[in-house]
Amino acid sequence: MMAAALRGSLVTLAKGLSGARLQPLCARSLSVTSSQNVSESPPARADSTFKVTMVPGDGVGPELMTAVKEVFKAADVPVEFEEFHLSEVQNMASEEKLEEVLSSMKNNRVAIKGKIHTPMEYKGELASYEMRLRRKLDLFANVVHVNSLPGYSTRHNNLDLVIIREQTEGEYSSLEHESVSGVVECLKIITREKSRRIAKFAFDYATKKGRSKVTAVHKANIMKLGDGLFLQSCAELAELYPKIKYETIIIDNCCMQLVQNPYQFDVLVMPNLYGNIIDNLAAGLVGGAGVVPGESYSAEYAVFETGARHPFAQAVGRNIANPTAMLLSASNMLRHLNLEYHSNMVSEAVKKVIKQGKVRTSDLGGYATSEEFTRAVISNLAV
């Protein structure tokens, strides 16, 4: 029953993006779940259990995944994890291991992962394993929903904005070379096809979620051709969505405006590097890297992770990392799998613990350990 329902109810938002004709979401007949589903949900097994690929990553990633597994077990979530350890800094990375992870992700079509730390040293390969995963799966759209947590006060409360980042090209194209001694050229790649694809994704997202405005973030005053093409692509797509207000803003001004008055923004869409910066800045507005979930989509696959990608290496083994962001990401993953009941159970338990204010990790001004926070979430599950 679950498999049939899933196959009948989930429709992708990214299918057909490379086609010749683009049209607004409202012009097509779509049936989607309440989350931003780009990839199709994988079929359930005969015993109604979903297989999901898990990549704990580096830093506190394994500890956060332990929290996810414990909460899922307590909530009796019908998910079975295929776990793979992939790390460039712990000698657990190889072409064979990467292919194993990719094969599992392609079979399951849904994954949850921690941050795979990228070393700064150049060892003959410019593209990190993290970047290679995104490219091989074509995870072009990164979505970070920045939402204030009830009960935890910050400088700006009641924030609700979405950052959509193109993450398969731009400054992270891994095209660098030393043209002459002491002179390095680093190429930024912007294409019309991928710019239009991420713009369409942003406007489809805004339409589906009932949001009123999309803001394109750029630096076209300096990078007139590259960011100019991105801006032109966004403007072309905006014409297809007359009910969505469209604005543009230069990246440096955007940073200042986010700090001064973030309420003016709704959905922001931007190229790769700008998105990386804004994700982290915006996460800081609502509590930091430990509380903001994120997800990445292709036309076929969905990967759930924290919104601000930090390994938090200094906290490894100290039992102080905040599991909130990873647990909320896991909740979003369950919603993507159409497991609404379990998704709501997990997210409501996390938010209840935050709102009560009795059990908080050090990043939120408390003294609780990761394990204590996890136990508090489990005790608040409405099982």
227 with 352, same domain: the answer is no
Computed over every residue of the chain, the mean pLDDT equals 86
Assigned domain for 342 exists = yes
How far apart CA 32 and CA 8 sit, in angstroms, is 10
Q: Give tens-digit pLDDT for 60-100.
A: 899 999 999 999 999 999 999 999 988 766 666 677 888 99
Which token pair is 152? 């935890």
Q: What is the pLDDT of residue 28?
A: 32
Q: What is the pLDDT of residue 262?
A: 97
Q: Give tens-digit pLDDT for 243-263.
A: 999 999 999 999 999 999 999
* 154, 287 contact by CB (below 8 A): yes
pLDDT for 276 beyond 60: yes
pLDDT for 301 beyond 80: yes
Range of the domain at 372: 49-145+289-382
Q: What is the pLDDT of residue 96?
A: 83
126 with 232, same domain: the answer is no
| E strands, 181-288, in order | 183-186, 213-218, 245-250, 267-270
pLDDT for 31 beyond 50: no
159 with 72, same domain: the answer is no
Between the ranges 91-100, 173-182, 306-315, where is the mean pLDDT highest? 173-182
Assigned domain for 31 exists = no
76 with 105, same domain: the answer is yes
Q: Give tens-digit pLDDT for 329-347.
A: 999 999 999 999 999 999 9
163 with 257, same domain: the answer is yes
Assigned domain for 201 exists = yes
158 with 274, same domain: the answer is yes
Assigned domain for 211 exists = yes
Looking at 130-134, 230-234, 321-325, which range is the least confident one? 130-134
pLDDT for 14 beyond 80: no
279 with 293, same domain: the answer is no
- pLDDT (mean) for 266-285: 96
> CA torsion sign, 306 to 312 to 316 to 321?
negative
182 with 105, same domain: the answer is no
Assigned domain for 27 exists = no
308 with 373, same domain: the answer is yes
331 with 248, same domain: the answer is no
- pLDDT (mean) for 307-334: 89
- pLDDT (mean) for 291-318: 89
Assigned domain for 1 exists = no
- Percent of the chain's residues with pLDDT above 70: 83
Q: Give tens-digit pLDDT for 210-238.
A: 999 999 999 999 999 999 999 999 999 99
How far apart CA 291 and CA 152 sit, in angstroms, is 11
pLDDT for 10 beyond 50: no
- Picking from 210, 204, 282, 188, the residue whose alpha carbon sits closest to that of residue 237 is 204
Assigned domain for 337 exists = yes
- Picking from 297, 379, 375, the residue whose alpha carbon sits closest to that of residue 336 is 297
* DSSP helix/strand/coil, 50: strand
Q: What is the pLDDT of residue 92?
A: 61
- pLDDT (mean) for 119-123: 64
Q: What is the pLDDT of residue 58?
A: 86
Task: Tell me the pTM.
Answer: 0.85
Domain count, the chain: 2
Which of the listed residues 270, 286, 302 is the one where a domain comes to its end? 286
Task: Between 93 and 358, name the one with better pLDDT.
Answer: 358
Q: What is the pLDDT of residue 120?
A: 64
368 with 265, same domain: the answer is no
Which of the listed residues 252, 286, 320 is the one where a domain comes to its end? 286
CATH number of the CATH domain containing 61: 3.40.718.10
Q: What is the pLDDT of residue 124?
A: 59
- pLDDT (mean) for 123-135: 76
| E strands, the chain, in order | 50-55, 79-83, 110-113, 141-147, 160-166, 176-180, 183-186, 213-218, 245-250, 267-270, 293-297, 302-306
Assigned domain for 13 exists = no
pLDDT for 137 beyond 70: yes
Which of the listed residues 254, 286, 318 is the one where a domain comes to its end? 286
141 with 202, same domain: the answer is no
